[in-house]
Chain A
Protein backbone atom coordinates (compact mmCIF):
# COMPACT_ATOMS: atom_id res chain seq x y z
CA UNK A 1 0.00 0.00 0.00
CA UNK A 2 1.34 3.38 -0.91
CA UNK A 3 0.37 6.96 -0.77
CA UNK A 4 2.26 9.13 -3.22
CA UNK A 5 2.30 12.89 -3.11
CA UNK A 6 4.02 13.87 -6.39
CA UNK A 7 5.13 17.44 -6.94
CA UNK A 8 4.78 17.42 -10.73
CA UNK A 9 2.64 15.80 -13.38
CA UNK A 10 5.64 13.85 -14.63
CA UNK A 11 6.13 12.33 -11.19
CA UNK A 12 2.44 11.60 -10.98
CA UNK A 13 2.53 9.64 -14.25
CA UNK A 14 5.52 7.71 -13.00
CA UNK A 15 3.56 6.75 -9.93
CA UNK A 16 0.53 5.88 -11.99
CA UNK A 17 2.50 3.54 -14.20
CA UNK A 18 3.97 1.88 -11.11
CA UNK A 19 0.58 1.46 -9.45
CA UNK A 20 -2.00 1.38 -12.24
CA UNK A 21 -4.80 0.65 -9.78
CA UNK A 22 -4.10 3.81 -7.77
CA UNK A 23 -6.95 6.14 -6.86
CA UNK A 24 -6.31 9.79 -7.61
CA UNK A 25 -7.25 12.29 -4.97
CA UNK A 26 -7.38 16.04 -5.37
CA UNK A 27 -9.41 17.97 -2.78
CA UNK A 28 -10.73 14.75 -1.29
CA UNK A 29 -14.21 16.14 -0.78
CA UNK A 30 -15.79 13.29 -2.72
CA UNK A 31 -13.31 10.48 -2.29
CA UNK A 32 -12.82 10.84 1.46
CA UNK A 33 -16.57 10.65 2.03
CA UNK A 34 -16.55 7.36 0.15
CA UNK A 35 -13.71 6.09 2.30
CA UNK A 36 -15.16 7.34 5.58
CA UNK A 37 -18.47 5.72 4.73
CA UNK A 38 -16.80 2.40 4.05
CA UNK A 39 -17.69 2.36 0.34
CA UNK A 40 -14.15 2.54 -1.03
CA UNK A 41 -11.02 0.96 0.38
CA UNK A 42 -8.13 2.28 -1.61
CA UNK A 43 -4.90 0.34 -1.68
CA UNK A 44 -2.78 2.85 -3.55
CA UNK A 45 -3.41 6.54 -3.65
CA UNK A 46 -1.86 9.35 -5.64
CA UNK A 47 -2.54 12.77 -4.23
CA UNK A 48 -2.51 15.57 -6.76
CA UNK A 49 -2.81 18.46 -4.35
CA UNK A 50 0.82 19.52 -4.52
CA UNK A 51 1.11 19.54 -8.30
CA UNK A 52 1.39 23.23 -9.11
CA UNK A 53 0.63 22.77 -12.82
CA UNK A 54 -2.84 21.57 -11.95
CA UNK A 55 -3.54 24.49 -9.64
CA UNK A 56 -3.18 27.27 -12.17
CA UNK A 57 -5.40 28.78 -14.83
CA UNK A 58 -4.73 31.08 -17.76
CA UNK A 59 -6.44 32.98 -20.56
CA UNK A 60 -5.46 31.70 -23.99
CA UNK A 61 -4.88 33.82 -27.06
CA UNK A 62 -8.06 32.52 -28.75
CA UNK A 63 -10.23 34.02 -26.02
CA UNK A 64 -10.59 30.82 -24.11
CA UNK A 65 -9.61 30.00 -20.56
CA UNK A 66 -7.89 26.86 -19.38
CA UNK A 67 -8.49 25.99 -15.76
CA UNK A 68 -6.32 23.38 -14.09
CA UNK A 69 -8.17 20.46 -12.59
CA UNK A 70 -6.75 21.27 -9.17
CA UNK A 71 -7.92 24.88 -8.91
CA UNK A 72 -10.23 25.03 -5.88
CA UNK A 73 -13.70 26.53 -6.22
CA UNK A 74 -12.87 29.43 -3.94
CA UNK A 75 -10.56 30.80 -6.63
CA UNK A 76 -13.38 30.83 -9.17
CA UNK A 77 -15.71 32.80 -6.92
CA UNK A 78 -13.83 36.09 -7.19
CA UNK A 79 -11.39 38.10 -9.26
CA UNK A 80 -10.71 37.74 -12.95
CA UNK A 81 -12.18 34.26 -13.20
CA UNK A 82 -15.45 35.64 -11.90
CA UNK A 83 -15.39 38.50 -14.38
CA UNK A 84 -14.74 36.27 -17.35
CA UNK A 85 -16.85 33.31 -16.30
CA UNK A 86 -19.65 34.65 -14.10
CA UNK A 87 -21.74 31.48 -14.39
CA UNK A 88 -18.82 29.41 -13.12
CA UNK A 89 -18.34 31.85 -10.25
CA UNK A 90 -21.99 31.56 -9.29
CA UNK A 91 -21.90 27.78 -9.53
CA UNK A 92 -18.69 27.64 -7.50
CA UNK A 93 -20.24 29.74 -4.78
CA UNK A 94 -23.11 27.28 -4.37
CA UNK A 95 -20.80 24.33 -3.78
CA UNK A 96 -20.97 23.11 -0.20
CA UNK A 97 -19.48 25.43 2.37
CA UNK A 98 -16.37 27.63 2.43
CA UNK A 99 -14.41 24.64 3.73
CA UNK A 100 -15.54 22.52 0.78
CA UNK A 101 -14.83 25.31 -1.70
CA UNK A 102 -11.31 25.68 -0.35
CA UNK A 103 -10.61 22.04 -1.18
CA UNK A 104 -13.00 20.91 -3.92
CA UNK A 105 -12.08 21.21 -7.59
CA UNK A 106 -13.43 20.84 -11.12
CA UNK A 107 -11.12 17.86 -11.57
CA UNK A 108 -12.90 16.11 -8.72
CA UNK A 109 -16.33 17.20 -9.96
CA UNK A 110 -15.45 15.68 -13.35
CA UNK A 111 -13.85 12.63 -11.78
CA UNK A 112 -17.02 11.93 -9.79
CA UNK A 113 -19.41 12.98 -12.55
CA UNK A 114 -22.49 13.20 -10.38
CA UNK A 115 -25.47 14.69 -12.24
CA UNK A 116 -25.83 16.96 -9.21
CA UNK A 117 -22.27 18.28 -9.58
CA UNK A 118 -22.50 22.06 -9.79
CA UNK A 119 -19.51 22.61 -12.02
CA UNK A 120 -20.84 20.34 -14.73
CA UNK A 121 -23.86 22.31 -16.04
CA UNK A 122 -21.54 25.26 -16.55
CA UNK A 123 -19.07 23.12 -18.46
CA UNK A 124 -21.94 21.71 -20.55
CA UNK A 125 -23.35 25.13 -21.29
CA UNK A 126 -19.94 26.38 -22.35
CA UNK A 127 -19.14 23.28 -24.42
CA UNK A 128 -15.99 22.76 -22.40
CA UNK A 129 -13.08 20.68 -23.59
CA UNK A 130 -11.71 18.26 -20.99
CA UNK A 131 -7.97 17.63 -21.11
CA UNK A 132 -6.87 14.12 -20.28
CA UNK A 133 -3.29 13.01 -20.11
CA UNK A 134 -1.52 9.73 -19.56
CA UNK A 135 2.14 8.76 -19.54
CA UNK A 136 2.03 8.04 -23.25
CA UNK A 137 -0.48 10.41 -24.67
CA UNK A 138 -2.93 13.17 -24.17
CA UNK A 139 -6.36 13.83 -25.57
CA UNK A 140 -9.03 16.51 -25.54
CA UNK A 141 -12.58 15.42 -25.15
CA UNK A 142 -15.74 17.43 -25.44
CA UNK A 143 -17.56 17.50 -22.11
CA UNK A 144 -20.52 16.04 -23.96
CA UNK A 145 -18.47 12.96 -24.75
CA UNK A 146 -16.77 12.89 -21.37
CA UNK A 147 -19.77 12.43 -19.09
CA UNK A 148 -21.40 9.10 -19.88
CA UNK A 149 -23.95 8.63 -17.12
CA UNK A 150 -24.52 8.76 -13.38
CA UNK A 151 -20.99 8.79 -11.95
CA UNK A 152 -19.59 7.41 -15.20
CA UNK A 153 -17.14 9.12 -17.52
CA UNK A 154 -14.80 8.42 -20.43
CA UNK A 155 -11.58 8.71 -18.46
CA UNK A 156 -9.40 5.58 -18.56
CA UNK A 157 -7.60 4.40 -15.43
CA UNK A 158 -4.20 5.62 -16.61
CA UNK A 159 -5.38 9.14 -17.33
CA UNK A 160 -5.29 12.25 -15.23
CA UNK A 161 -7.72 15.05 -15.92
CA UNK A 162 -5.39 18.01 -16.21
CA UNK A 163 -7.93 20.72 -16.83
CA UNK A 164 -10.75 22.14 -18.89
CA UNK A 165 -10.88 24.84 -21.55
CA UNK A 166 -13.93 27.03 -21.93
CA UNK A 167 -14.63 30.00 -24.19
CA UNK A 168 -15.11 33.53 -22.92
CA UNK A 169 -18.51 34.40 -24.34
CA UNK A 170 -19.98 37.75 -25.17
CA UNK A 171 -23.25 37.92 -23.27
CA UNK A 172 -24.98 37.32 -19.99
CA UNK A 173 -24.46 34.04 -18.18
CA UNK A 174 -25.59 32.70 -14.84
CA UNK A 175 -26.27 29.69 -12.68
CA UNK A 176 -29.12 28.87 -10.31
CA UNK A 177 -29.62 25.86 -8.10
CA UNK A 178 -32.55 24.72 -6.04
CA UNK A 179 -31.91 23.24 -2.61
CA UNK A 180 -34.05 23.09 0.48
CA UNK A 181 -31.58 25.00 2.59
CA UNK A 182 -30.12 28.44 2.10
CA UNK A 183 -26.54 27.23 2.06
CA UNK A 184 -24.56 24.01 1.85
CA UNK A 185 -26.99 21.86 -0.03
CA UNK A 186 -26.74 19.32 -2.81
CA UNK A 187 -28.67 20.33 -5.89
CA UNK A 188 -32.27 19.22 -6.29
CA UNK A 189 -32.33 20.85 -9.72
CA UNK A 190 -30.07 23.40 -11.33
CA UNK A 191 -29.58 25.29 -14.55
CA UNK A 192 -26.81 27.21 -16.25
CA UNK A 193 -27.69 29.66 -19.00
CA UNK A 194 -25.17 31.42 -21.20
CA UNK A 195 -25.81 33.81 -24.04
CA UNK A 196 -23.30 34.40 -26.83
CA UNK A 197 -24.21 37.51 -28.74
CA UNK A 198 -21.49 37.03 -31.26
CA UNK A 199 -22.96 33.77 -32.48
CA UNK A 200 -26.52 34.80 -31.63
CA UNK A 201 -26.87 31.68 -29.52
CA UNK A 202 -28.07 30.68 -26.10
CA UNK A 203 -27.08 27.59 -24.19
CA UNK A 204 -28.91 26.05 -21.28
CA UNK A 205 -27.74 23.03 -19.34
CA UNK A 206 -29.61 21.31 -16.51
CA UNK A 207 -28.23 19.52 -13.47
CA UNK A 208 -29.79 16.82 -11.26
CA UNK A 209 -32.67 16.16 -13.65
CA UNK A 210 -31.27 13.24 -15.64
CA UNK A 211 -28.50 10.66 -15.68
CA UNK A 212 -26.18 13.21 -17.23
CA UNK A 213 -26.26 16.96 -17.49
CA UNK A 214 -28.90 17.85 -20.08
CA UNK A 215 -28.39 20.44 -22.79
CA UNK A 216 -31.79 21.64 -23.96
CA UNK A 217 -31.01 21.90 -27.66
CA UNK A 218 -34.64 22.16 -28.76
CA UNK A 219 -35.45 24.97 -26.40
CA UNK A 220 -32.23 26.73 -27.35
CA UNK A 221 -32.96 26.64 -31.07
CA UNK A 222 -36.58 27.61 -30.49
CA UNK A 223 -35.50 30.66 -28.52
CA UNK A 224 -33.08 32.01 -31.11
CA UNK A 225 -35.94 31.98 -33.60
CA UNK A 226 -38.06 34.17 -31.31
CA UNK A 227 -35.77 37.16 -31.10
CA UNK A 228 -32.30 38.37 -31.97
CA UNK A 229 -30.20 37.64 -28.90
CA UNK A 230 -27.35 39.78 -30.14
CA UNK A 231 -29.28 43.04 -30.12
CA UNK A 232 -32.25 42.54 -27.79
CA UNK A 233 -32.12 44.03 -24.31
CA UNK A 234 -35.35 42.62 -22.95
CA UNK A 235 -37.58 39.62 -23.38
CA UNK A 236 -41.33 39.28 -23.76
CA UNK A 237 -42.48 37.51 -20.57
CA UNK A 238 -44.59 35.15 -22.66
CA UNK A 239 -41.48 34.02 -24.54
CA UNK A 240 -39.59 33.54 -21.29
CA UNK A 241 -42.46 31.44 -19.97
CA UNK A 242 -42.61 29.32 -23.08
CA UNK A 243 -38.84 28.89 -23.01
CA UNK A 244 -39.16 27.58 -19.45
CA UNK A 245 -41.90 25.19 -20.49
CA UNK A 246 -39.79 23.84 -23.32
CA UNK A 247 -36.75 23.45 -21.11
CA UNK A 248 -38.81 21.50 -18.57
CA UNK A 249 -39.94 19.14 -21.33
CA UNK A 250 -36.36 18.25 -22.10
CA UNK A 251 -35.54 17.26 -18.52
CA UNK A 252 -35.64 13.60 -17.48
CA UNK A 253 -35.93 13.74 -13.70
CA UNK A 254 -36.66 10.94 -11.26
CA UNK A 255 -38.21 10.65 -7.80
CA UNK A 256 -35.75 10.12 -4.97
CA UNK A 257 -35.33 11.04 -1.32
CA UNK A 258 -34.24 14.56 -2.23
CA UNK A 259 -37.27 15.47 -4.29
CA UNK A 260 -39.83 14.33 -6.84
CA UNK A 261 -39.64 14.16 -10.61
CA UNK A 262 -42.61 16.51 -10.91
CA UNK A 263 -41.04 19.14 -8.74
CA UNK A 264 -37.70 18.92 -10.50
CA UNK A 265 -39.32 19.26 -13.90
CA UNK A 266 -41.28 22.25 -12.68
CA UNK A 267 -38.21 23.79 -11.02
CA UNK A 268 -35.95 23.69 -14.08
CA UNK A 269 -38.72 25.37 -16.08
CA UNK A 270 -38.90 28.16 -13.52
CA UNK A 271 -35.11 28.48 -13.40
CA UNK A 272 -34.90 28.68 -17.20
CA UNK A 273 -37.54 31.37 -17.29
CA UNK A 274 -35.83 33.35 -14.58
CA UNK A 275 -32.34 33.00 -16.00
CA UNK A 276 -33.35 34.16 -19.47
CA UNK A 277 -35.21 37.05 -17.83
CA UNK A 278 -32.07 37.97 -15.92
CA UNK A 279 -30.24 37.99 -19.26
CA UNK A 280 -32.97 40.04 -20.88
CA UNK A 281 -34.93 41.83 -18.15
CA UNK A 282 -38.55 42.29 -19.20
Chain B
Protein backbone atom coordinates (compact mmCIF):
# COMPACT_ATOMS: atom_id res chain seq x y z
CA UNK B 1 0.00 0.00 0.00
CA UNK B 2 1.33 3.43 -0.84
CA UNK B 3 1.00 6.15 1.70
CA UNK B 4 2.11 9.67 2.35
CA UNK B 5 3.96 9.38 5.61
CA UNK B 6 6.61 6.69 5.47
CA UNK B 7 9.72 5.76 3.56
CA UNK B 8 11.36 3.06 5.66
CA UNK B 9 12.69 0.11 3.68
CA UNK B 10 13.82 -3.04 5.38
CA UNK B 11 13.63 -6.80 5.16
CA UNK B 12 12.29 -9.12 7.80
CA UNK B 13 12.93 -12.82 8.10
CA UNK B 14 9.57 -14.43 8.70
CA UNK B 15 8.63 -18.10 8.65
CA UNK B 16 11.89 -18.90 6.93
CA UNK B 17 11.52 -16.31 4.20
CA UNK B 18 12.93 -12.87 3.56
CA UNK B 19 10.07 -10.43 3.38
CA UNK B 20 10.88 -6.95 2.11
CA UNK B 21 8.90 -4.04 3.52
CA UNK B 22 8.62 -0.80 1.56
CA UNK B 23 7.55 2.76 2.34
CA UNK B 24 6.78 2.04 5.94
CA UNK B 25 6.29 4.51 8.77
CA UNK B 26 8.83 4.12 11.61
CA UNK B 27 6.18 3.83 14.28
CA UNK B 28 4.65 0.69 12.80
CA UNK B 29 4.65 -2.34 15.05
CA UNK B 30 5.59 -5.77 13.83
CA UNK B 31 1.93 -6.67 14.34
CA UNK B 32 0.84 -3.97 11.91
CA UNK B 33 3.45 -4.90 9.34
CA UNK B 34 2.58 -8.60 9.49
CA UNK B 35 -1.11 -7.95 9.16
CA UNK B 36 -1.33 -4.97 6.86
CA UNK B 37 1.79 -5.23 4.72
CA UNK B 38 2.80 -8.86 4.55
CA UNK B 39 -0.57 -10.58 4.32
CA UNK B 40 -0.01 -12.49 7.53
CA UNK B 41 -3.16 -11.66 9.50
CA UNK B 42 -2.85 -14.64 11.85
CA UNK B 43 -1.49 -12.56 14.73
CA UNK B 44 -4.36 -10.52 16.15
CA UNK B 45 -4.41 -7.17 17.87
CA UNK B 46 -6.72 -6.67 20.84
CA UNK B 47 -4.87 -4.11 22.94
CA UNK B 48 -1.61 -3.00 21.29
CA UNK B 49 -0.04 -2.71 24.70
CA UNK B 50 1.20 -6.18 25.51
CA UNK B 51 -1.73 -7.00 27.76
CA UNK B 52 -3.64 -9.61 25.78
CA UNK B 53 -1.14 -11.84 23.99
CA UNK B 54 -3.32 -12.15 20.87
CA UNK B 55 -0.38 -10.92 18.82
CA UNK B 56 2.16 -13.43 20.16
CA UNK B 57 4.88 -14.51 17.72
CA UNK B 58 8.20 -16.24 18.20
CA UNK B 59 11.17 -13.95 17.77
CA UNK B 60 14.66 -15.42 18.07
CA UNK B 61 13.24 -18.28 20.10
CA UNK B 62 11.20 -16.18 22.51
CA UNK B 63 7.46 -15.72 22.57
CA UNK B 64 6.88 -11.97 22.40
CA UNK B 65 4.05 -9.55 21.73
CA UNK B 66 4.43 -8.41 18.14
CA UNK B 67 2.52 -5.22 18.98
CA UNK B 68 5.49 -4.17 21.13
CA UNK B 69 8.15 -4.87 18.54
CA UNK B 70 8.99 -1.91 16.38
CA UNK B 71 8.97 -3.62 13.02
CA UNK B 72 11.91 -1.74 11.56
CA UNK B 73 14.08 -2.89 14.46
CA UNK B 74 13.28 -6.56 13.91
CA UNK B 75 15.68 -6.86 11.00
CA UNK B 76 18.01 -9.77 11.49
CA UNK B 77 15.60 -11.56 13.81
CA UNK B 78 14.12 -14.94 13.11
CA UNK B 79 10.35 -14.53 13.32
CA UNK B 80 7.77 -17.30 13.35
CA UNK B 81 4.07 -16.50 13.22
CA UNK B 82 1.09 -18.79 13.62
CA UNK B 83 1.13 -19.20 9.85
CA UNK B 84 4.66 -20.57 10.11
CA UNK B 85 4.02 -23.11 12.86
CA UNK B 86 2.81 -25.85 10.63
CA UNK B 87 5.97 -26.21 8.57
CA UNK B 88 8.24 -25.47 11.48
CA UNK B 89 6.75 -27.80 14.03
CA UNK B 90 8.81 -30.97 14.63
CA UNK B 91 5.88 -32.63 16.35
CA UNK B 92 4.01 -32.83 13.07
CA UNK B 93 5.34 -36.33 12.73
CA UNK B 94 3.34 -37.56 15.72
CA UNK B 95 0.00 -36.09 14.91
CA UNK B 96 -1.75 -39.31 14.05
CA UNK B 97 -4.78 -37.94 15.88
CA UNK B 98 -5.23 -35.06 13.52
CA UNK B 99 -8.29 -34.79 11.35
CA UNK B 100 -6.40 -33.03 8.67
CA UNK B 101 -2.67 -33.39 8.43
CA UNK B 102 -2.50 -29.66 7.88
CA UNK B 103 -2.57 -28.69 11.52
CA UNK B 104 -0.37 -29.32 14.54
CA UNK B 105 -1.24 -31.44 17.54
CA UNK B 106 -1.71 -28.30 19.63
CA UNK B 107 -4.09 -26.86 17.09
CA UNK B 108 -5.97 -30.12 16.88
CA UNK B 109 -6.31 -30.32 20.64
CA UNK B 110 -7.67 -26.79 20.86
CA UNK B 111 -10.43 -27.78 18.46
CA UNK B 112 -11.19 -31.14 20.05
CA UNK B 113 -11.16 -29.97 23.65
CA UNK B 114 -13.30 -26.88 23.03
CA UNK B 115 -10.51 -24.36 23.52
CA UNK B 116 -11.86 -22.22 20.69
CA UNK B 117 -14.96 -20.07 20.83
CA UNK B 118 -14.76 -16.74 19.08
CA UNK B 119 -11.18 -17.66 18.26
CA UNK B 120 -9.69 -14.21 18.53
CA UNK B 121 -7.26 -15.19 21.28
CA UNK B 122 -6.55 -18.53 19.65
CA UNK B 123 -3.62 -17.85 17.29
CA UNK B 124 -1.71 -16.10 20.08
CA UNK B 125 -2.41 -18.94 22.46
CA UNK B 126 -1.43 -21.55 19.89
CA UNK B 127 1.93 -19.84 19.47
CA UNK B 128 2.40 -19.46 23.23
CA UNK B 129 1.56 -23.11 23.89
CA UNK B 130 3.87 -24.36 21.15
CA UNK B 131 6.61 -22.27 22.66
CA UNK B 132 5.89 -23.52 26.17
CA UNK B 133 5.93 -27.19 25.18
CA UNK B 134 9.13 -26.75 23.28
CA UNK B 135 10.85 -25.36 26.37
CA UNK B 136 9.05 -27.56 28.86
CA UNK B 137 7.51 -30.73 27.39
CA UNK B 138 5.80 -31.78 30.62
CA UNK B 139 4.64 -28.66 32.39
CA UNK B 140 2.64 -28.84 35.61
CA UNK B 141 -0.85 -27.36 35.64
CA UNK B 142 0.50 -24.29 37.38
CA UNK B 143 3.33 -23.89 34.88
CA UNK B 144 0.80 -23.99 32.08
CA UNK B 145 -1.28 -21.32 33.79
CA UNK B 146 1.69 -19.07 34.42
CA UNK B 147 3.03 -19.43 30.94
CA UNK B 148 -0.27 -18.42 29.31
CA UNK B 149 -1.14 -15.79 31.90
CA UNK B 150 -0.27 -13.15 29.30
CA UNK B 151 -2.85 -14.50 26.86
CA UNK B 152 -6.30 -13.21 27.71
CA UNK B 153 -9.29 -15.22 26.58
CA UNK B 154 -12.63 -13.56 27.22
CA UNK B 155 -14.84 -16.39 25.99
CA UNK B 156 -13.74 -19.70 27.45
CA UNK B 157 -12.77 -19.00 31.04
CA UNK B 158 -9.64 -21.03 30.13
CA UNK B 159 -10.98 -24.43 31.29
CA UNK B 160 -11.03 -25.99 27.82
CA UNK B 161 -7.70 -24.37 26.99
CA UNK B 162 -6.06 -26.08 29.97
CA UNK B 163 -7.71 -29.30 28.84
CA UNK B 164 -6.26 -28.87 25.36
CA UNK B 165 -2.72 -28.35 26.64
CA UNK B 166 -3.06 -31.32 28.95
CA UNK B 167 -4.25 -33.48 26.07
CA UNK B 168 -1.25 -32.57 23.94
CA UNK B 169 1.16 -33.24 26.79
CA UNK B 170 -0.36 -36.69 27.33
CA UNK B 171 -0.29 -37.63 23.66
CA UNK B 172 3.27 -36.43 23.20
CA UNK B 173 4.33 -38.25 26.35
CA UNK B 174 2.78 -41.51 25.17
CA UNK B 175 4.47 -41.26 21.82
CA UNK B 176 7.94 -40.61 23.23
Contacts and interface: CB of A to CB of B under 8 A. Distances in A.
Interface of A: 1, 3, 5, 25, 27-29, 31-33, 35-37, 41-43, 45, 47, 49-50, 72, 74, 96-100, 102-103, 182-184
Interface string B18-58: 00000000110100000000000000000011110100100
A43 B26 contact: yes
Given A29-B65, A37-B49, A47-B73, 19 more contacts: A1-B7, A3-B8, A3-B73, A5-B72, A5-B75, A5-B76, A32-B67, A32-B68, A35-B27, A37-B48, A45-B70, A96-B50, A97-B150, A98-B146, A99-B50, A99-B56, A100-B50, A102-B64, A182-B149
B167 interface: no
Given A32-B29, A184-B51, A25 B150 contact: no
6 contacts: A29-B68, A36-B48, A42-B26, A42-B27, A97-B150, A98-B63
Contacts of A3: 8, 10, 26, 70, 72-73
Contacts of A100: 50, 65, 68, 150
Closest 4 CB pairs of A and B: A97-B150, A47-B73, A183-B149, A102-B62
User: In the complex, which of the residues A5, A47, A98 has the most CB atoms of chain B within 10 Å of its own CB atom?
Assistant: A98
Interface of B: 6-8, 10, 26-27, 29, 48-51, 53, 56, 62-65, 67-70, 72-73, 75-76, 128, 146-147, 149-151
Contact of B73 (A5, A33, A183): A5
A32 B26 CA distance: 11
Contacts of B73: 3, 5, 25, 28, 45, 47, 49
Nearest to A36: B48
A98 B65 contact: no
Given A98-B150, A100-B50, A103-B65, A47 B70 contact: yes
Contacts of B49: 33, 36-37
Nearest to A7: B76
A7 B29 CA distance: 21
B68 A28 contact: yes
Contact of B147 (A33, A96, A98): A98
B70 A32 contact: yes
A36 B26 contact: no
B64 A41 contact: no
Given A32-B68, A35-B70, A37-B49, A99 B76 contact: no
B50 A25 contact: no
B64 A99 contact: yes
A184 to B, nearest CB: 6
